[in-house]
């Protein structure tokens, strides 16, 4: 029997990964039936609502499919092995942990400002709206692996900036204000860090980066975060599946 799920990753995301691992470990092939909800809840010691959310994620990733009245089945996509699908939506910290890193978040700067034109467009802001700009660095064993800039509409978080711990998960923070991101639209490009960041924070050794520019949306489809995440090219690779 599997051990209960108890770690810092989001419960549903971890459960999704555990079920995907179960498919591989048990040798389930495309077309095979997945264990029932009752069997999975007993195996993972998890609530049925959390299980159903994890199964929805697997269905969205085309790892499983549903035949109403018959159950859930392993799809052909399960046979395609990728190390890290770039389509997975999760926090930067969770993503880094998946790679085996133990990231430490360093807050470099926090401010309220008028948004740059691109940010205002991505967040669909009114002309006089303000944003919170959060600049952070993720380190693994004192080595920088991620440089991140996040923009959040000021209207979402009206609390005084100095009363908030910005070193934790931004997704969890937004959830406290009932605006947790649920999905995103992103672009990926190969770049160098901005010169200002390199010189201001002594990041000359960072090297080429994979920049994921991402607009995150809440459950109502409203943009709540525009993120620029520079993944150190020597430390990250992403995979994708075309279908």
Q: What is the mean pLDDT of the chain?
A: 87
Mean pLDDT of all residues in 47-66:
89
Query: Is the separation of the CB atoms in 56 and 89 below 8 Å?
Result: no
Range of the domain at 60: 11-79
Confidence of residue 215 (pLDDT cuts 50, 70, 90): very high
Confidence of residue 83 (pLDDT cuts 50, 70, 90): low
Instruction: Answer yes or no: do 99 and 179 share one domain.
Output: yes
Confidence of residue 8 (pLDDT cuts 50, 70, 90): very low
Q: Which residues pair with 83 in a beta bridge?
A: none
Q: What confidence tens digit (pLDDT) does each residue in 118-175 have? A: 999 999 999 999 999 999 999 999 999 999 999 999 999 999 999 999 988 899 899 9
Instruction: Answer yes or no: do 101 and 212 share one domain.
Output: yes
Instruction: Answer yes or no: do 148 and 178 share one domain.
Output: yes
Alpha-carbon span 78 to 52, nearest angstrom: 19
Instruction: Answer yes or no: do 161 and 97 share one domain.
Output: yes
Cα dihedral 201, 206, 211, 213, rounded to 10, equals -20
Indicate the residue among 30, 57, 79 that finishes a domain: 79
């Amino acid at each position: 029997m599997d051990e209960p799920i108890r770690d810092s990753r989001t419960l549903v995301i971890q459960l999704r990964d555990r079920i995907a691992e179960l498919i591989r470990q048990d040798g389930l092939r495309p077309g095979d039936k997945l264990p029932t909800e009752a069997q999975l809840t007993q195996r993972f010691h998890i609530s049925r609502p959390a299980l159903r959310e994890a199964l929805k994620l697997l269905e969205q990733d085309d790892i499983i499919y549903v035949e109403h009245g018959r159950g859930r089945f392993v799809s052909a996509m399960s046979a395609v092995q990728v190390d890290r699908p770039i389509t997975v939506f999760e926090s930067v910290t969770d993503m880094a942990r998946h790679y085996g890193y133990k990231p430490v978040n360093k807050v470099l700067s926090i401010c309220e400002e008028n948004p740059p034109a691109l940010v205002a467009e991505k967040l669909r802001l009114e002309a006089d709206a303000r944003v919170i700009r959060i600049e952070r660095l993720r380190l693994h064993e004192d080595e920088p692996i991620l440089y991140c800039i996040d923009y959040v509409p000021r209207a979402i978080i009206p609390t005084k900036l100095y009363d908030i711990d910005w070193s934790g998960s931004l997704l969890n923070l937004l959830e406290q204000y009932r605006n947790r991101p649920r999905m995103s639209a992103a672009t990926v490009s190969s770049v160098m860090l901005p010169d200002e960041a390199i010189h201001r924070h002594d990041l000359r050794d960072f090297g080429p980066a994979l920049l994921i520019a991402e607009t995150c949306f809440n459950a109502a489809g409203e943009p709540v975060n525009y993120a620029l995440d520079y993944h150190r090219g020597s430390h990250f690779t992403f995979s994708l599946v075309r279908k």
